[in-house]
Amino acid sequence: MFSRRNFTVSAAALGLAMGLSSAASAEKWDMPLAYSATNYHSQIAAEFAAEVTEKTGGKLEIVTHPSGSLFGGAEIFSAVRRGLAPIGERLVSALSNENPIYEMDSIPFLATSFPEAKALYAAQKPALTKLLDDANLVFLYSGPWPPQGFYSKVQAGSKAELKGLKFRAYNATTSRVAELMGMLPTKIEAAELSQAFATGVAESMISSGSTGYDRKLWEHVDYFYDVRAWLPRNMVFVNKDAWEGLDEATQGIILDAAATAESKVWAKSEELADYYLEQFTKEGMTVGDAPAGLKADFQAAGQVLLDEWKEKAGDDGAALLAEYEAKQ
């Protein structure tokens, strides 16, 4: 029979159980992203987050924050490292001040196609995972941007015509290439790009069709030279303390979702590469290969960067280059 006393006890027990289960096991992870919500990196990260949330039955909910809305691109790595955010995404090569190994995918003309970029990733991945581990981070997945081309307000047959042009850089490599080409680099995150071009702070940049498309660069520049200089990658990583706080089943769900996300990013990037350039043409931009003189100038700059990287990265770098060659 139902007694009042029993009812009170069981209601209290139920309340306690519910309270405990939400306090002890349900967790929400904020995931800062630097790029716009509609970009395929961000969309796939959101799908990754939804998959983890769903497969853990809401025990771990991951919520993405695109466009640098939670932490700006330049802050994400240290935010996750310090545990201010448990998980995040960052452009790998932007971390070159931590270690030159991070910069490998942005060495000009080293890997210029999707298969080459994949071989380079395979060569770099063990070192990357180790570097992150040393930084209190757990590597999850990494996928590319389409090949990098040159956006310019001015038509250019060679670097002589670019002298003094203001250049938007996204890492040390792009800054250095700009310098060698006689331009004036400033680092600007993708989220601030439209503003920078609209106000004349930037007049040129090296990036993929993807970022120019996201930021409607045709409103500001007329020329896209399809240089195909390299394919930089983003990567997603987790704070190690946050990771170790998860049970094994949850970690397994995350690793599976990360593997799915990684193959989706590679496929989507390749699928969209030409689409972006077609949209530029439709919007009235002049899109085409770089003229021979300009291409030769970029290649000369690229050689300087390769030599400088070899010097900085020493024996570790040489081993990775050999590994990359073996994988091609």
Which residue's beta carbon is nearest to the bound ligand PCA? 208
Torsion angle, alpha carbons of 188, 194, 197, 199, to 10 = -100
Nearer to ligand PCA, 43 or 210 (CB): 210
Nearer to ligand PCA, 42 or 210 (CB): 210
Nearer to ligand PCA, 51 or 262 (CB): 262
Shortest distance, position 208 Cβ to ligand PCA, whole Å:
3
Shortest distance, position 270 Cβ to ligand PCA, whole Å:
13
Nearer to ligand PCA, 45 or 254 (CB): 45
The residue type at 175: S
Q: Which residues contact ligand PCA (rule: CB under 6 A)?
A: 91, 145, 170, 190, 207-208, 210-211, 232
Nearer to ligand PCA, 59 or 215 (CB): 215
In whole angstroms, what is the distance from residue 258 CA to residue 129 CA?
14
Q: What are the tokens at 126?
A: 């063990």
Nearer to ligand PCA, 29 or 121 (CB): 121
CA-closest candidate to residue 143, choices 249, 321, 270, 292:
270
Shortest distance, position 190 Cβ to ligand PCA, whole Å:
4
| Torsions phi, psi for 71 (to 5 deg) | -130, 140
Nearer to ligand PCA, 170 or 197 (CB): 170
Distances (CA, A) of 65 to 33, 42, 256: 6, 9, 22
Nearer to ligand PCA, 124 or 207 (CB): 207
Annotate the chain with three-state secondary structure. CCCHHHHHHHHHHHHHHHHHHHHHCCEEEEEECCCCCCCHHHHHHHHHHHHHHHHCCCCEEEEEECCCCCCCHHHHHHHHHCCCCCEEEEEHHHHCCCCHHHHHHHCCCCCCCHHHHHHHHHHHHHHHHHHHHHCCEEEEEEEECCCCEEEECCCCCCHHHHCCCEEEECCHHHHHHHHHCCCEEEECCHHHHHHHHHCCCCCEEEECHHHHHHCCHHHCCCEEECCCCCCCEEEEEEEHHHHHCCCHHHHHHHHHHHHHHHHHHHHHHHHHHHHHHHHHHHCCCEEECCCHHHHHHHHHHHHHHHHHHHHHHHHHHHHHHHHHHHHC
Nearer to ligand PCA, 42 or 211 (CB): 211
